Amino acid sequence: MKKIIGLLLIGVLFMSCEKDNDVAVLSTSYGAMVIEFYPDVAPMHVESFKILAEEGYFDGTTFHRVIPGFVIQGGDPNSKDDNRMNDGTGGRAGKFFGGKTDAYVGREEDPSTWTIPAEFNDSLHVKGTLSMARSQNPDSGSSQFFICHGPTPQLNNQYTVFGKVIKGLDVIDKIVNVDRPNKQNQYYGGPDGDNPFEKVTMTVKIMKQSQAMET
């Protein structure tokens, strides 16, 4: 009987360790979010995000675009400076992933050009979804990401989902409602209309899920 109990305990312990995956803890002045990753459907995006986080690349960047009912977007190194007008124009992938065309030849030696090929999948854009921002080029993902404030089905299969907030959903609600030009004046036409007046800076750390959920 003791042997059976011992084996059961070992089995439970093994299963717990097996499920103790890496997560991201994204901390802001409005609280912290714990984000699980989807490496099975977007391995390159997960790898890139983790590399950048471990470099400290995201630390000090801001959520430079916040739209209620839509998304909060961040991860641009340009958002560290005092020029609001260049926010949303920078970023790079964590490493060179290659690409689908000859246009990627020679980029390996120039980190500023690194991007991530699209990994569109069936994961839905719902509240808390972590997805990759990009330009019109599907393979242009870099460091900028967004987290959905609400269901955004129009983005499904158009942007790469690579994770989801599993703790701290209320933080999204707080961030998305901060003061910004478009909130003060709906007719404001500047490119920084959805950029908070007071910077919402972040730090991002990678840790084990069991440890993160205790914070």
Instruction: State the average pLDDT for the chain.
Output: 91
Task: Give me the domains of the chain, ranges plus CATH numbers.
Answer: 20-212 (2.40.100.10)
Give the pLDDT confidence score for residue 19 in this predicted structure.
Answer: 75
Residues 27 and 94: their CA atoms lie apart, in Å, by: 20
- Whether pLDDT at 69 is above 60: yes
Give the pLDDT confidence score for residue 14 in this predicted structure.
Answer: 44
Give the pLDDT confidence score for residue 98 in this predicted structure.
Answer: 80
Give the pLDDT confidence score for residue 18 in this predicted structure.
Answer: 55
Based on C-alpha coordinates, what's the Rg of the chain?
19
Question: Strand runs (DSSP E) across 29-128, as ranges?
Answer: 31-37, 63-67, 71-74
Binned at pLDDT 50, 70 and 90, residue 107 comes out as confident
Query: What is the DSSP code (8-state) at residue 9?
Result: H
In this predicted model, what pLDDT tens digit does every residue of 22-46 receive, in sequence order?
999 999 999 999 999 999 999 999 9
Question: Please, what's the b/e burial string for 162-191 (b: 16 or more CB within 10 A of its CB; e: otherwise)?
Answer: bbbbebbeebbeebbebebbbbeeeeeeee
- Whether pLDDT at 1 is above 60: no
Alpha carbon 49 to its chain's center = 7
In this predicted model, what pLDDT tens digit does every residue of 181-195 receive, in sequence order?
999 999 999 999 999
Residues 132 and 73: their CA atoms lie apart, in Å, by: 9
Residues 50 and 7: their CA atoms lie apart, in Å, by: 35
In this predicted model, what pLDDT tens digit does every residue of 72-106 receive, in sequence order?
999 999 999 999 999 999 999 999 998 666 666 66
CA proximity to 130, closest of 35, 200, 66, 53 = 35
- Section 115-121 average pLDDT: 96
